[in-house]
Amino acid sequence: MLDDLKYIHQKDAQDALGVVEKQYQQLEAVFGVDTSSIGEISNVVLAGMGGSALAAGIIKSWPKLIAPFEIVRDYAVPEYVNRQTLFVASSYSGNTEETLAAIEAAEEKKAQIIVVCAGGKLAEIAKSKQYPLFLLPQNYQPRMAVLLNFKALFELFSGLDLIDASKVSELNSAIQHIKNSALSWRADTPTKENIAKQIALDLVGKSPVIYSGPLLAPVGYKWKININENAKNVAWCNQYPEFNHNEFLGWSSHPVDKPYAVVNLRSSFDNAQIQKRFDISKKLLGGRMPDPLEVEVQGSSEIEQMLHALVLGDFVSVYLAILNGLNPTPVELIEKLKTELA
């Protein structure tokens, strides 16, 4: 089925595979926003949901900020927000109700505000109040614009000297790496040579559970939300070492023939104790947890490995949607929910 290009094109009517393959181009975007109005910064708070918050999660994992940084997935903002807080309102649509409420709360606390969006009410607010606005290109699904959002945040934080300057060249080097990697995951690469198709075949009919170390935790979450939204398939994620303090025991009862598929995202940059935890947990849970799919992430730097794993997961989720007989792009139920809430 996954080598039938005609069938793939029928199901993937909006060409999600094409969008996934070309994600490296999102990292080449340049926004050129003037942030000279921003003064002294003591902490950073970003409000966002879904893919808009995920881009910030990647930033927290790599390259990290030199200032305290909190991501808010809520209607409210932390009590400590004040005039020295850099507050970033991030919503691809610009209409996310939680983020709109959070920016109002940040305004009340006199925070320094930046907006990242592709339009909507947030763009109107930014223009009317002259907040620096990182305006993203439109016509993407939010989960497919995560790297655009990431690049906007990277440019913002780099310009404010909140990121080590050496990270710029690391990111530029990683772009070519994921461009090359994606070639082997395309639809015209046969299953026997295509790890993305192979993983999707292992996941079909099951509920995937994605595990990683801290570095790849936001990527594991990206696998989860893309399997949810693209494949319309329930999935979960967690990370080591937290896994060993609770969820580890959850696998220890009942037969091994559980309706789950476990994926371990492994990075050579994981702490040595994290790597041991993967191996020891697999041994101790043998016969109780489904044998994990071990994904050894490729790349010579942390960001190369993060992007490699992220784009691989995007391909997997689209192929899983096709195996489920579904178009990966529409998210009609979410749109109905938003209508009901409104």
> Cα dihedral angle (322, 326, 331, 336), rounded to 10 degrees?
-170
Helix spans in 73-116 (H): 97-108
Amino acid identity of residue 244, one-letter, is N
Structural contact between residues 47 and 103, judged by C-beta atoms closer than 8 angstroms: yes
Rounded-to-integer distance, Cα 251 and Cα 293, Å: 16
Look up residue 53 and give its two tokens: 């918050």
- Using N-to-C axis directions, what is the helix angle for 120-129 and 97-108, rounded to 10°? 20
The per-residue pLDDT for 253 is 87
pLDDT digit string (tens) for 311-342?
A: 999 999 999 999 999 999 988 888 888 788 87
Convert 68-81 into a string of H (helix), E (strand) and C (coil). Answer: CEEEECCCCCCCCC
Concerning whether 304 is annotated as a catalytic residue, the answer is no
Per the rule left: phi > 0, alpha: psi between -120 and 50, beta: everything else, 49 is beta
Residue 254: pLDDT band (50, 70, 90) is: confident
Let me know if 10 is exposed, middle or buried by CB neighbors in 10 A (0-12, 13-18, 19+): exposed
Look up residue 232 and give its two tokens: 């319309």
Helix spans in the chain (H): 5-11, 16-21, 50-61, 97-108, 120-129, 146-159, 167-183, 195-203, 217-229, 247-250, 272-284, 302-323, 332-341
pLDDT digit string (tens) for 92-150?
A: 999 999 999 999 999 999 999 999 999 999 999 999 999 999 999 998 988 999 999 99
- Using N-to-C axis directions, what is the helix angle for 167-183 and 146-159, rounded to 10°? 170
Instruction: For residue 66, report the phi and psi dihedrals to the nearest 5 degrees.
Output: -85, -10
pLDDT digit string (tens) for 34-54?
A: 999 999 999 999 999 988 999
Per the rule left: phi > 0, alpha: psi between -120 and 50, beta: everything else, 119 is left
Mean pLDDT for the stretch of residues 219-226? 97
Concerning whether 338 is annotated as a catalytic residue, the answer is yes
Measuring CA to CA, which residue among 303, 319, 148 is closest to residue 219?
A: 303
Amino acid identity of residue 135, one-letter, is L
pLDDT digit string (tens) for 159-215?
A: 999 999 999 999 999 999 999 999 999 999 999 999 999 999 999 999 999 999 999
Coil vs helix vs strand at 323: helix
Considering the candidates 6, 192, 245, 283, report the single residue annotated as catalytic.
Answer: 245
Concerning whether 40 is annotated as a catalytic residue, the answer is no
Considering the candidates 127, 129, 336, 338, report the single residue annotated as catalytic.
Answer: 338
What domains appear along the chain, each with residue ranges and CATH number?
5-14+178-323 (3.40.50.10490), 17-171 (3.40.50.10490)
Considering the candidates 21, 222, 224, 229, report the single residue annotated as catalytic.
Answer: 229
Rounded-to-integer distance, Cα 282 and Cα 294, Å: 10
Which region among 19-23, 253-257, 271-275 has the lowest average model confidence (pLDDT)?
Answer: 253-257
